[in-house]
Amino acid sequence: MPQDEDDEITASEITPKEVYLNRREFMAASAAAAAAAAFPELSGAESHGNTPLKIEKRSDYAEKEPPTTYKDAAGYNNFYEFSTGKEDVAALSKDLRVRPWTVSLEGLIKKPKVYDIDSLIKMFPLEERIYRMRCVEGWSMVIPWVGFALDGLIKLSEPDSKAKFVEFTTLHDPAQMPGQRREVLQWPYVEGLRLDEALHPLTILSMGMYGETLPNQNGAPLRLVVPWKYGFKSIKSIVKIRLTEQMPITSWMQAGPSEYGFYANVNPEVDHPRWSQARERRVGEFMKRKTLMFNGYAGQVASLYSGMDLRKNF
């Protein structure tokens, strides 16, 4: 059933998925047994070939419904750097080299720096957040992300007073990313947020999901997660974060300006030019459900857009 916009519960009420390796983090045995009976595909504990992450905190940002199965979350992906076929990405991305990996923080900041990905893991305690995620194509998932709030990294850079936006850039390496050999989009992939959106506590940089490091097809080793926006805002395999005064022209704004606006907030009242956004299908379910404003996070983020025309600023 659809969830109310303000539904938030502690992670202790969420049935952990099979990838959680540390059984001490599991629910009490009785709750786990009940959940296993209701959702047998979520029970058990096994590694999926990725490195377990040390999670310092189970966030209050969590959903009542069970997470999407790991198989679906890792096997049905939009990642055009590899392929436009959702089920092809895992195989095509399996050899992507994610170490060594650096992320440059630059632009209108007082402390520009190039960070090694592993140094970021040490700098910021990792937190698990179970978020609803919705694709503009009409499908959705519930995923336990592991990462840290983006605001900590931005504040560490000491933004200039002129900084109004944050631009993100994906790795550009056609030798490793065969989709970049085709002119599907202008490469490298670029995405952006308004600075206050980037500083919102819901916005995270994710290094993992389901208790492990990100699979390559899900954006390893570092991706953006903004749960109240459509999925194309969730830029993957980030190598550069730049603060700017002007709004970035993002990849999808270049590719389809009449279909993909800068804000990309989930708004079921504004249809995509080629389909309705009023309903969605949770991956793994047959029936569709009502799409929630801001993907169900209106209580936390609607104030960011006070006074804006959300039909015009789509």
Residue 221 near residue 120, CB atoms below 8 Å: no
Residue 280: phi, psi to the nearest 5? -145, 160
Q: Quick one: which of 73, 76, 2, 66 has its CA closest to 36?
A: 66
Check whether 25 has a pLDDT greater than 90.
no
Provide mean pLDDT across the span 39-50: 54
Paired tokens of 108: 């209108």
Please say if the pLDDT value at position 4 is more than 80.
no
Higher per-residue confidence, 30 vs 211: 211
pLDDT (tens digit per residue) in 231-265: 999 999 999 999 999 999 999 999 999 999 999 99
pLDDT higher than 60, residue 34: no
Average confidence (pLDDT) over 260-276: 95
Query: Does the structure show a pLDDT above 80 at 46?
Result: no
Residue 288 and residue 267: Cα distance in Å, rounded? Answer: 16
Q: Please tell me the predicted confidence (pLDDT) of residue 314.
A: 84
Going along the chain from its start, the domains and CATH numbers come out as 53-303 (3.90.420.10)
Statement: residue 182 has pLDDT above 70: yes
Range of weakest confidence among 54-63, 117-126, 231-240: 54-63
